[in-house]
Amino acid sequence: MSWNIEELARDNVRALTPYQSARRLGGNGDVWLNANEFPLPVPFELSQQTLNRYPECQPKVVIARYAAYSGLQPEQVLVSRGADEGIELVMRAFCEPCKDAILFCPPTYGMYSVSAETIGIEYRTVPTRENWQLNLPAIADRLDGVKVVYMCSPNNPTGNLIDPDDIRALLEMTAGKALVVADEAYIEFCPQAKLSGWLKDYPHLVILRTLSKAFALAGLRCGFTLANKPVIDLLMKVITPYPLATPVADIAGQVLSDRGIALMRQHVAELNANRAWLLEQLSRLSLVQQVFPSETNYILARFADSPAVFESLWDQGIILRDQNKNLGLAGCLRISIGTRQECEHLVAALQVLSVENA
């Protein structure tokens, strides 16, 4: 008997192209500037010896500390397996498969569409304007049937903040109809732009945060969803019984201590200084057509021949993220901010390439 197991799978899963994470793409490098990770490991030690027991679903220490860090009440905080799980929880709690839709504005983060496709929810895209700001009239035109609008600020991969006046207009336009999810994965690099203070005014605002970027714990898989209690209560209905392993909660609690937060802020200051240096250096290279300002731990730059640059650096063990196929980003590479030494290494390699191509 021979038949194709694929025929048993859901149609949308058969059609699905999985998210091309930096890790899946591989590479053999010693300078990893492709996943917006913090360049150095931070040392933590496990303090819990209770692995025989199931963990708490929402570990109290972690929730209390994140609430204090973000100036909110514990009931406004949900912790999950990375912000990526938060993206999906909102869809699973609010969107009816084959009926409701989500909306987002490319170029932006790739997981909104992947999660929608996996669950079987329509996704609608409204490209940003040329300056990567929201096209509000076009969004208004396409809101019919939309339950969730995902908006990334600062945006990945472009690095810009979304205009707060436009976010307010989006919240007014969607009131009573749809949630607005503000993805703040990089907000620690520009904390003045955070929207947590807006939760008191908007019952349909949801904010996503993570320990993967500024907190230097991408390998921990821990993220947060901030919203008012009625939203959190609904998300709690669909979350798995034990989303956080005991060691994850243990370390998340430590990193959210006063000492842990102070260390994160010091790291952010260092990376922001490295970013300013790298931006300046890149803008001097003949190979680089355009460097875009950034509020994050990465820089987007446009190159005359980006595939050649990408490949040449790849062969030298410097791994960047190709954005060539992202809407409107032809010729663009995204460069995560590493240590100063890694930034210098990259610039030196690009200088050699510039001379060779002169």
Ligand X SMILES: *Cc1c(COP(=O)(O)O)cnc(C)c1O
User: Smallest distance, Å, CB 141 to ligand X?
Assistant: 25
Residue with CB nearest ligand X? 82
The sign of the torsion formed by the CA atoms of 226, 230, 234, 237 equals positive
- Comparison of 117 and 183: residue with beta carbon closer to ligand X: 183
Q: Closest distance between ligand X and the C-beta of residue 109, in Å?
A: 4
Q: Which residues bind ligand X (CB under 6 A)?
A: 36, 82-84, 109, 152, 156, 183, 185, 210, 212, 218, 223
Please say which residue, 80 or 281, places its beta carbon nearer to ligand X: 80
Q: 83 vs 149, which CB is nearer to ligand X? A: 83
Nearer to ligand X, 39 or 82 (CB): 82
Cis previous bond, 41, omega within 30? no
Taking the least distance from each CB to ligand X, the nearer of 21 and 286 is 21
Minimum CB–partner distance for residue 3 and ligand X (Å): 37
Residues 259, 304: Cα–Cα separation, whole Å: 45
**Could you tell me the smallest distance in angstroms from the CB atom of residue 94 to ligand X?**
18
Beta carbon of residue 284, minimum distance to ligand X (angstroms, whole number): 28
